[in-house]
A and B are shown apart, each in its own frame.
Chain A
């Protein structure tokens, strides 16, 4: 049972480059989320999705785009990477909204932007 899987686990980018982080879950969860974790800032919500084909902004959405074309996948894109986007990114999913549902996290993706 894989749960929530993120790829890649590590990536180094130059300023201005683009990339996509992929999150896949095999638990048939409706809700999926992208968080970033920075020292002293805790986990902050970037974007989330309440179902296939729908996405919404979280706390810190600027500089990121997302897509949820298939229920099991949630993609996070950086169109023009900036050093401020150096962070550890976590994907999560839940059966229902986090209002009442239990969140399960992926292993994280460490991104460095030079």
Chain B
């Protein structure tokens, strides 16, 4: 099946800093989503972005499908940005379209 690698595994930021999270995948995809799991365990949709660029407030994401990677940008980070960020993809060769999750990037934003 498709492999999803996220980097870095851990990230410590001071409030106000910018950061970039990366998601590499091993095959062509039809679906790519970014999620934020907050410290309370909730999984929150950030972006549905199989290709192109999207922005939502301080967050933006870019997927370059032909080069098999996606980037999540966090600007002017806040303590509420802490948590785990997951990238999840569906490979074009998957039989029914199972969403494959990466291991996540643990982000800690300090005041």
Q: Which residues on A are within 8 Å of B, measured CB to CB?
A: 42-43, 45, 56, 58-59, 88, 90, 97-105, 107-108, 110
Ordered by A's residue number, 19 sampled pairs between the chains whose C-beta atoms are within 8 Å are A42-B86, A42-B101, A42-B102, A45-B98, A58-B98, A97-B96, A99-B30, A99-B31, A99-B94, A99-B96, A102-B33, A103-B45, A103-B88, A104-B45, A105-B35, A105-B42, A105-B44, A105-B45, A110-B41
Please report the C-alpha to C-alpha distance between residue A83 and residue B63 in the assembled complex, in whole angstroms. 40
Chain A residues whose C-beta falls within 8 Å of the C-beta of B98 in the assembled complex: 45, 58-59, 98
Please name the residue on chain B nearest to A109 by beta carbon.
Answer: B41
Partner of A103, one of B33, B41, B103, B104: B33
B89 → A minimal CB distance (Å) = 10
A25 → B minimal CB distance (Å) = 14
Please report the C-alpha to C-alpha distance between residue A51 and residue B98 in the assembled complex, in whole angstroms. 16
Chain A residues whose C-beta falls within 8 Å of the C-beta of B102 in the assembled complex: 42
Chain B residues whose C-beta falls within 8 Å of the C-beta of A105 in the assembled complex: 35, 42-45
Pairs A-B, 7 closest by C-beta atoms:
A99-B97, A105-B43, A102-B48, A98-B99, A42-B101, A97-B97, A98-B97
A35 → B minimal CB distance (Å) = 9
A98/B90 in contact, CB under 8 A: yes
A107/B97 in contact, CB under 8 A: no
Chain A residues whose C-beta falls within 8 Å of the C-beta of B33 in the assembled complex: 102-103
B45/A88 in contact, CB under 8 A: no
B43/A90 in contact, CB under 8 A: yes
Partner of A42, one of B41, B44, B104: B104
B42/A108 in contact, CB under 8 A: yes
Please report the C-alpha to C-alpha distance between residue A105 and residue B45 in the assembled complex, in whole angstroms. 8
Chain A residues whose C-beta falls within 8 Å of the C-beta of B45 in the assembled complex: 102-105
Chain B residues whose C-beta falls within 8 Å of the C-beta of A104 in the assembled complex: 45
